[in-house]
Structure 1
């Protein structure tokens, strides 16, 4: 799958809340500084890391142990995956299950796989289920590259 710049622009422009899977408390980790960047440019970011203690925060945001443990009222638009490629199919399955759970009213619209995270089968499954998919890319790179400015005002 090749990333379409217009899909990237659409995802970044229409996203308000991002669930970031694989968030790290360590400031030298890409997931940590990408999360900080996303917060700084105006997105709501919910960190997910099952290895961190309940009540932990990263950049002032409460950490959740899993995607499905985030309350539906969070209105997640995009899931940003900082995990290895082999973990993506189960994440996609979880997203699709959450979107189909009428009791929780989730409406996740897109999946973003970070640089080096590539899973063609999971990407195709997500795309065929109506989700926008970006793979092997980083929003911290794409936002300035596509000259997406004033995210705060677009949200």
Structure 2
């Protein structure tokens, strides 16, 4: 398992309230749309990061993580595993405090690099499942 319950709890409660959701668009059929809604329900500010830079759930979108003009605390990654490592590296460069790879997003080398850079990291889990589970 990549990210124990203590790490998950820390990210959800202590690592900050601004979450950049990479892969979030207005497509209601995508998991990112639903998970972002859950994060907002639990008080997180959701920042959409998607090439379309759409406003989603009332929040201005940005085409890339580097285009976000303010600090983000957690980078939640909804992209193909082959692209996830680059997003994790961008999160480190942006000064994020944590990276979260969603269910099915797996890149062990990116996990190791992100942890070595001092960030909390969770991989192949979903905050919409973990928030209610961990209270």
Q: Same fold (TM over 0.5)?
A: yes
Query: Is 1:91 paired with 2:107?
Result: no
Task: Tell me which residue corresponds to 1:124.
Answer: 112
**Rounded Cα–Cα distance in structure 2 between residues aligned with 1:26 and 1:2:** 28
Structure 2: unaligned runs, 5 residues or longer: none
Task: Tell me which residue corresponds to 1:141.
Answer: 129
What value does the CA root-mean-square deviation take over the aligned residues? 1.2
- How does the TM-score come out when normalised to structure 1? 0.82
Considering only CA atoms, is the larger Rg found in Structure 1 or Structure 2? 1
Deviation at 1:98, TM superposition (A): 2.5
**Rounded Cα–Cα distance in structure 1 between residues aligned with 2:40 and 2:26:** 15
- How does the TM-score come out when normalised to structure 2? 0.94
Distance 1:66 1:118, change over 3 A: same
Distance 1:43 1:124, change over 3 A: same
Deviation at 1:3, TM superposition (A): 2.3
Query: Is 1:77 paired with 2:73?
Result: yes
Partner SS for 2:20: strand
**Rounded Cα–Cα distance in structure 2 between residues aligned with 1:13 and 1:131:** 15
TM superposition outliers: structure 1 runs of 4+ over 4 Å: none
Map 1:1-155 to 2 at 5 A.
Answer: 1-14=1-14, 15-50=16-51, 52=52, 56-72=54-70, 75-99=71-95, 108-147=96-135
**Rounded Cα–Cα distance in structure 1 between residues aligned with 2:3 and 2:123:** 7
